[in-house]
């Protein structure tokens, strides 16, 4: 997907591919459930979750995969063993198929993010 011009996450979800829509809606539900006190915003053309004006989590539907961004290096480092072997860039987990999304891992990453503030990479 090209960078979205949607004004809100509902608009974003309405324009993503049908193939990714259910999985992205599931990611949204999970983020909203686990990130209490965070603001849901659109940042850089994708849904993001901010605390004190800084995005700590984001996700996006790309053409070839779904991406899930963990912008806190301390959280990524704490989950090093569980993230080993995942398709991952610097701060982005990539899931080539929606059915391969590890929602348990993502829930744990969200809980660790929500537990305390930290430095954004």
Report the residue count for the chain.
Answer: 121
Domains and their CATH numbers in the chain = 9-114 (3.90.1150.200)
pLDDT digit string, tens, across residues 20-56: 999 999 999 999 999 999 999 999 999 999 999 999 9
Tokens found for residue 64: 């070839």
Burial class (CB in 10 A: 0-12, 13-18, 19+), 1: middle
Confidence category of residue 84, pLDDT binned at 50, 70, 90: very high
With b for 16 or more beta-carbon neighbours within 10 A and e for fewer, the 59-92 pattern comes to: bbbbeebbbbbbbbeebbeebeeebeeeeeeebb
User: What proportion of the chain, given as a percentage, has pLDDT over 90?
Assistant: 83
Query: What's the DSSP call for residue 45?
Result: T
Q: Let me know: does 21 contact 86? Beta carbons within 8 Å.
A: no
pLDDT at 1: 52
């Amino acid at each position: 997907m090209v960078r979205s011009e949607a004004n809100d996450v509902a608009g974003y979800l309405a324009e993503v591919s049908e193939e990714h829509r259910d999985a992205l809606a599931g990611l949204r539900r999970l983020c909203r459930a686990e990130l209490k006190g965070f603001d849901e915003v659109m940042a850089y053309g994708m849904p993001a979750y901010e605390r004190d004006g800084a995005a700590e989590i984001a996700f996006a539907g790309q053409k070839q995969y779904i991406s899930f961004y963990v912008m806190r290096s301390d959280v990524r480092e704490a989950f090093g063993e569980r993230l080993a072997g995942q398709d991952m860039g610097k701060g982005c987990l990539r899931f080539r198929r929606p059915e391969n999304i590890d929602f348990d891992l993502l829930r744990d990453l969200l809980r660790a993010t929500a537990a305390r503030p930290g430095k954004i990479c």
